[in-house]
Structure 1
């Protein structure tokens, strides 16, 4: 190991000791500085050297004890031994046989050992400070002592009283032993400092503030992040900067506290306190601190990184083509709505561009830099839709990902959720969706944890939801939760002035081919009713591009294309939504039988609690079979109805359930109960 010159300093208490120390250092090829001083002077030298980088001090006797109480670095004592005292005693006896020893504990212990070994008889006086030295010397003089052995502190008093003093000798072996101990302490100190700096660097690299606290609440360590958060200015105790009882509760009880929100000055911070325990006893606490706004920022960044590129809104109000009065009114209203954070229900026929408006509203809102997550509620079965909306944890159901999955509400945190075809979701999912909208929190399937969310909800439907409420297919409370603001997109047939602009837009957007279209062909297209709205118009333009052979597309070509569409449309079986299917006829037949039974009971003076007569017409309050109906006969009817529905749907359970007006799960349960097989 390479040593710096001032890593170790040696402070000698006598000139003879200084000479011996220098001889040992030269012999060992060490270049550490040697100072000659005692007590206060030695302390001044030590503090100055420590500021310059000294890590270990080598000293002797009382001065070593004195420094050990005042400095924060190791102090190694050059201990007196038998040889030291023997050499000093030989010199003293040459002056006079009346010899005494005055000094600190180290010297006196060595003198006592020498006295026992040599069977000598001389007085020994142990002192604890320089004032005692002079007092003991006076006592020795009164006893007739003519020579005293001691250190540098004794020499001043000896001169004053004109008595001979022999400086305590230094054994080279003792000096070498002290140097070895000092070098070992230096090695330990360097390793400790390396570990401390490593830990300190680690603590300063974290985004959290970290404070170490002693049992009495004194701060023993604080990293740079915590200093900045807490505006630390060398306060001694934690209560001076974090006035919360949580930390003292952990100090007192050893019970940790996690994620506690508190205020420190103007900052709102989240604090965790964990006890430092040794053999079951709490000796301190480690406190971690995070700023609330930074946690929220980090949460948003993590969510962004988990999002795919599809979770962004690409369309803006500039992408809405048309200058008709109707479309301009709707756009103006949408721009106004985008500045609020209220839920919007977007209504309109298929193909009018409801999602374009939803994306445009998001991109014009304060949430534009946050996620836009869209889902088509009609495209997924109920159980899959539920997992997509709310997410799930590991093992929530068969086929679930091992790592679980976040739902769209979690993914869209701080952004916008667009629920397209909202009228298609089952009442079961409607209930859960309503709770998410009301409570602003979501729980994954199979989990007991609740996540707070901050999302704006945009919903769209091509159905008349009021009519769906009347039919019992849509919850009224969910409707009013979604329809805080309503935006109705007009169909293309009501804004025919925009057809020409839309045609030009779709044609110009095609980079592969450019086509020409005659004015009479445009006029024909403008007069068409467009049941599929803008989407249908886009498809027609694409067909024209595919079939284009050069020259201007004329009226006859467009008429032929529209004729083919209408011709194909006529060959589809038309089903009047107001006329019942075979399955519905059987359900009506079942209800009629129940009414007949109730009529018979009325003749006997028994009023049914299931059927009321209003305006001479029976009205079913709920489909519940009266006790008078034979259970076996009812099950027979139910089996026939379910079988009819399965035959009509070609054995597809989802379609059969839709015909019966029940969920797929309910259908499966009834088939199992009634032993119905496909």
Structure 2
């Protein structure tokens, strides 16, 4: 049985007629027989179980309409109803009276007017008046009364003949039609309400709607959670700010108010609710500050795209030599810090691999990693990529503007490769970003706070670049809070064999074999291009070699044109090294343990014999050969440089000329021994 509509009858006659009408219309709605308070209890119970419309009659209908929250449809009394009732009453007496609520009384008055009769009609406001009005009718000579269920009880008590108000089937049909229409409206309203409610509850924001006095009209689940809502009726009970009530009273919008509730910061925006330009309340959106930050990070990640993530980890750094192991351990330790890191190393040593590994081992690993090669872009393009720009900032700028990499990498890591190639103008702006932790887009005066960790890399000696005036010293100290120097491949030749097998597997995805003589040739090569060069050579060999074997003949063929050494690959504008400079470099090489035999020392001594400042130290060098070590060489080289500077009054150019070395080499050695 469908209980979306129920019918409450006030008389047994009405009940019988309703059943006939429902049967003819093939409708199956529950019928109850009750009045007033009892009818109210029935209606309340039915509403709890899903009833959306109640059909009733007369005074009981009016009574329910004031108490329940669903539509009440009245089976109205009409002319035919009254005519049938009067005809029944006339069989008892012509002295007829009508006592009841407004609906039946209006029908009786219409009957009097149409039929030119003078039936006495008395309207009552409530059930308690019925007995008194009945007595008045009897005292005035009324012999029979017409009315509803309440009148029937009173007439029986005072032994007055009674005729029930008749029920015209057409009136019941009209009531059913109205009820079905109301049901359709209620279903549509409920659907819309549930849809809106679902929309409001699935947003990431809390939403609260209030009336002008602060009474809460609606609050979604998110707002309940944020505001710790416990069925409070007024917004003042849960929100300490007067912002929302001010909006409701003044009609003025308010945005981005930050307040603290229960130890958490929330952001509130409020707008007035207006009907025909009249403010009737206000609605507010509420967000937790940490949720806004989280959404901001997710948006930045999506703007970055899949290509701006760190894919490498320390496990991807191939090699087990002591030198690379030391660097890896240092990098792991650095990763736990949040300080800037300057990664130094020759081209191809894997600076970006280390940068990505540091990011993926840090606390920022779940945040963006954005890398940019500063040497790959012209100055104006590099500046726009770093800092972003607003609409119309320059010719060719996007209409919507663009966020720079510092904005996009918020909470994550920025890797600035080839940092030495940044112009001094851009260096100034970069320094401000690092110092102030904020960035301004090109063409904008707004400042955007950022939280990024900066990793920088260079294959040049930045101290030399500072000396040449190409790099700002203050920026260098900002970038080089931590330094990580990567060894060239020639200093970790024990790793070459492992790298060869790794690249063969990576390039061929098969078990291609490499001959031992080929491995030896590759291990003996100095690799001025470092790991990148090795990877390229292996890829070339996997392509040109047939039969799944890399042999020595093909390897020798590939390497025969690779005769340039480290010095050739790093040529500069300096003049060629003199014999004395070459011998001084020999001393430096011995400091890292490559040459430690006595004959080498004696040859070096003879080669520099003609240089005046070396003569005074000749005996000391030769007398210490039996206990010669790196520390002694460092002392000797430092003393040579100091004495040259003293003899030239601190003039570096003259000291370099006296030592027969370039000023750049002198500066590099002075930096190493802290002679500045």
TM-score by length of 2: 0.74
> Deviation string for 1:194-222 (max 9, x for gaps)?
32233333334434343433344333334
Q: Distance in 2 between matches of 1:38 and 1:197?
A: 33
Residue 440 (1) aligns with residue 437 (2): yes
Alpha-carbon distance change, 417 to 157 in structure 1, aligned in 2, over 3 angstroms = same
1:465 aligns with 2:462: yes
User: For 1:39 and 1:304, how far apart are their aligned partners in 2?
Assistant: 65
Structure 1 residues 131 and 521, CA, compared in 2 at 3 Å: closer, same or farther? closer
- Structure 1 CA distance for aligned equivalents of residues 15 and 343 of structure 2: 96
Structure 1 residue 332: Cα displacement: 3.1
2:471 aligned to which of 470, 474, 488: 474
Q: Secondary structure at the match of 1:276?
A: strand
Counterpart residue number, 2:359: 362
In structure 1, distance between residues paired with 2:333 and 2:569? 43
Residue of 481, 495, 502 corresponding to 1:501: 495
Deviation at 1:71, TM superposition (A): 0.8
**Contact kept in structure 2, 1:241 and 1:264, CA below 8 Å:** no
Instruction: Go from structure 1 to structure 2 and tell me whether the alpha carbon gap of 1:465 and 1:165 turns closer, same or farther (over 3 Å shift).
Output: same
**CA distance change for structure 1 residues 288 and 418 in 2, over 3 Å: closer, same or farther?**
same
Partner residue, 1:611: none
2:130 corresponds to which residue? 133
Residues 313 and 362 of structure 1 are in contact (CA less than 8 Å); yes or no, is this contact kept in structure 2?
yes
RMSD: 3.8
Distance in 2 between residues matched to 1:550 and 1:103, nearest whole Å:
112
Equivalent residue, structure 1, for 2:580: none
Q: Which aligned pairs between 1:101-250 and structure 2 lie closer than 5 A?
A: 101-250=98-247
**Aligned counterparts of 1:24 and 1:547: Cα–Cα separation in 2:** 96
Alignment of 1:469-548 (within 5 A): 469-490=466-487, 496=491, 498-506=492-500, 509-511=503-505, 514-517=514-517, 525=525, 535=532
Deviations 1:205-254 (A, max 9, x none): 43434343334433333444444555544443344444432222222222
SS of the counterpart of 1:509? helix
Measure the CA separation in 2 of the matches of 1:353 and 1:146: 115
The CA deviation at 1:455 is 1.4
1:343 to 333, 340, 343: 340
CA shift, 1:343, in A, is: 1.0
* 1:158 Cα offset (Å): 1.7
Q: How many pairs align?
A: 570
Please, what TM-score do these two structures have when normalized by structure 1? Answer: 0.74
In 2, Cα distance between equivalents of 1:257 and 1:426: 44
* 1:61 aligned onto 2:58: yes
Query: In 2, are the aligned partners of 1:507 and 1:541 still within 8 Å (CA)?
Result: no
The Cα shift of 1:457 comes to 0.2
The Cα of 1:461 is off from its aligned counterpart by 2.5
1:469 and 1:46 map into 2 onto residues whose CA distance is: 89
Assess, with a 3 A threshold, how the Cα gap between structure 1 residues 398 and 486 changes in structure 2: closer, same or farther.
Answer: same
Partner residue, 1:667:
none
Structure 1 contact 100–145 (Cα < 8 Å) conserved: yes
Q: What secondary structure is seen at the aligned counterpart in 2 of 1:80?
A: coil
Residue 472 of structure 1 deviates from its aligned partner by 4.1
1: distance between equivalents of 2:566 and 2:343? Answer: 32
Q: CA deviation at 1:157?
A: 1.6
Contact 1:7 1:54 in 2 (8 A): yes
Ranges in structure 2 where 5+ consecutive residues have no aligned partner = 506-511, 578-648, 652-676
Please report how far the alpha carbon of residue 542 of structure 1 lies from its aligned counterpart in structure 2 after TM superposition. Answer: 7.1
Shift of the alpha carbon at 1:39?
0.5
Cα deviation digits, residues 514-569 of structure 1 (max 9, x gap): 142389868864xx6x665555666677788889897657999999656x426995
CA separation of 1:76/1:534 partners in 2, compared to 1, >3 Å: closer, same or farther? closer
1:278 aligns with 2:275: yes
What's the secondary structure of 2:564's corresponding residue?
Answer: helix
Say whether 1:428 aligns with 2:425: yes
In the alignment, structure 1 segments of 5+ residues that lack a partner are: 579-614, 618-678
Asked whether 1:410 is paired with 2:407, we answer yes
Structure 2 matches for 1:617-632, cutoff 5 A? Answer: none
Q: Which residue of 2 aligns with 1:592?
A: none
**Could you tell me how far 1:397 is from its partner in structure 2?**
3.1
Deviation of 1:349 after TM superposition, in Å, equals 4.1
Residues 64-73 or 167-176, more deviating: 167-176
> 1:76 aligns to what?
73
Q: Does 1:382 align with 2:379?
A: yes
